[in-house]
Structure 1
Amino acid sequence: MASLNVYSTLVVLFLTCGAVMATKENDQIIKENNCETKIGLPCALEAFTGIFETWTISTKCCDELVGLGKVCHSALVKRTLENPLFKDQSPATIIAKSIQTWNNCLALIDSPSPSA
């Protein structure tokens, strides 16, 4: 439960203030694309917890994540990895999970819903 609180705090930090250690490139992408305004806090928390931990993401949040756009998604994940709190995380593993999450959400949103 403590890790959930850490992720909640980080998501709020990234969506409202930006990370102190963020690179100019990621910050510029995020700013130019208004990335921080394209996904709600609950879904941002769910998505990032899904990527940095091992949680599933709901269809609703997959829809918001896909609506965020791949460029924003990638920039936000990379900016998160720059935070010292994630120094023990493997960037290659997190980026791979990020891509997998993106692809899973894209497939879920693009697939036709079952007939009633």
Structure 2
Amino acid sequence: MASLNVYSALVVLFLSCRAAMATKENDQIIMENNCETKIGLPCVLEAFTSIFETERISNNCWGELVVLGKVCLSALVKRALENPLFKDVSPATIIAKSIQTWNNCLTLIDSPSQSA
């Protein structure tokens, strides 16, 4: 449960202000694409818990992730990795999990059972 508080704090940081250490490239992508306004806080928490840990994302949030888009998801994850909270996390592993989460999202959204 403590890790959920860390992710909650991180999400609040994303939604309430710019991360001081974020790269200009990620900030520019996030700003130009309005990334911080395209997904609700509950789904942000689910997505980041899925990527940084091993939790599942609910069916309700898959659609929000598609609206968020791959570019925004990638920029937000890269910004998170710049946060000192994640200094002991392997960026390559997290980026790979982010890509896997995105691909899973597309697979579930495109599957016939989801569109029925």
- Superposition TM-score tier, normalisation by shorter sequence: over 0.9
Relative to the length of structure 2, the TM-score reads 0.95
Instruction: Report the residue type matching 2:5 in the other structure.
Output: N
RMSD between aligned residues: 1.4
| Paired residues for 1:12-91 under 5 Å | 12-91=12-91
Whether the aligned pair in 1 keeps the contact of 2:13 and 2:19 (CA below 8 Å) is yes
Task: Tell me the secondary structure at the aligned position of residue 113 of structure 2.
Answer: coil
* TM-aligned CA distance change 1:103 to 1:18, over 3 Å: same
Deviation digits for residues 36-86 of structure 1 (CA, Å, limit 9, x no counterpart): 000000000000011001101111111101110111010000000000100
Instruction: Report the residue type matching 1:54 in the other structure.
Output: T
Within 2, Cα distance between the matches of 1:114 and 1:40? 21
Instruction: Report the residue type matching 1:8 in the other structure.
Output: S
Deviation digits for residues 12-32 of structure 1 (CA, Å, limit 9, x no counterpart): 111221211100000000000
Mind listing any 5+ residue stretches in structure 1 that lack a counterpart?
A: none
Number of aligned positions between the proteins: 116
Runs of 4+ that moved beyond 2 A: none
Task: Tell me the secondary structure at the aligned position of residue 55 of structure 1.
Answer: coil
Instruction: Report the residue type matching 2:79 in the other structure.
Output: R
Relative to the length of structure 1, the TM-score reads 0.95
Percentage identity across aligned positions?
A: 84
Within 1, Cα distance between the matches of 2:115 and 2:4? 36
Instruction: Report the residue type matching 1:22 in the other structure.
Output: A
